[in-house]
Amino acid sequence: MSFVILKGIFGLLAFAAGAGILLWFFYYLIWPQAKEPSLKTAKIIASFCAFTALVYGTLQVEPSSLMALFFLFAPGFAVVLWLQQDAKRNKIGAVVDFGFFVLILWPILMPWYVFKTRGRAGWRLLLGLFALIISADIGWMIGAWGIYSIRYAFAWGIYGVRYVLWYTHI
């Protein structure tokens, strides 16, 4: 076998192992402590992802592959677990694989579930759930655009000072 094929196989095995560890971490360590459906765990995970992505964006450093996967899947997975627990409490979606369906089709099933359980008042909850899911992206954008704005504000400030000094011949 060539080196490229071995590298691809080991990469897939590392990805599967990382995903398995991540799922085990959420399902057995973090989530069972929530006795009733509360978004506290999802908010903590989303806040961690947003803050860490903000630091990565501010430093303009690319995160490692495991952190990138964590940013991509952790907030959404936490929201799906909350939806699954809330569905059990409300006795909606009593299908055995409701959590899997929501994990795969969350852009369709999450609005359906929120409007079915909360009615028209579910808009705020739906926007909050979507904000939790994209929290890492929002954190990165704030960090990267913030440092970009500061850097170019200083650059234009220096340019302005130089122009004024040149124009007035000081």
User: Mean pLDDT over residues 151-165, rounded?
Assistant: 84
Q: What are phi and psi of 60, to 5 degrees?
A: 55, 50
pLDDT at residue number 23: 55
Average pLDDT in the chain: 79
- pLDDT tens, position by position, 128-141: 999 999 999 999 99
Query: Which of 7-21, 89-103, 109-123, 155-169 is modeled with the greatest confidence?
Result: 109-123
**C-alpha torsion angle, residues 117, 120, 125, 128 (rounded to 10):** 140
Under 8 Å between Cβ of 74 and 45: yes
* Threshold 0.75, pTM exceeds: no
Distance, in Å, from the CA atom of 137 to the CA atom of 145, rounded to the nearest integer, reads: 12
Other C-beta atoms lying within 10 Å of the C-beta of residue 139: 24
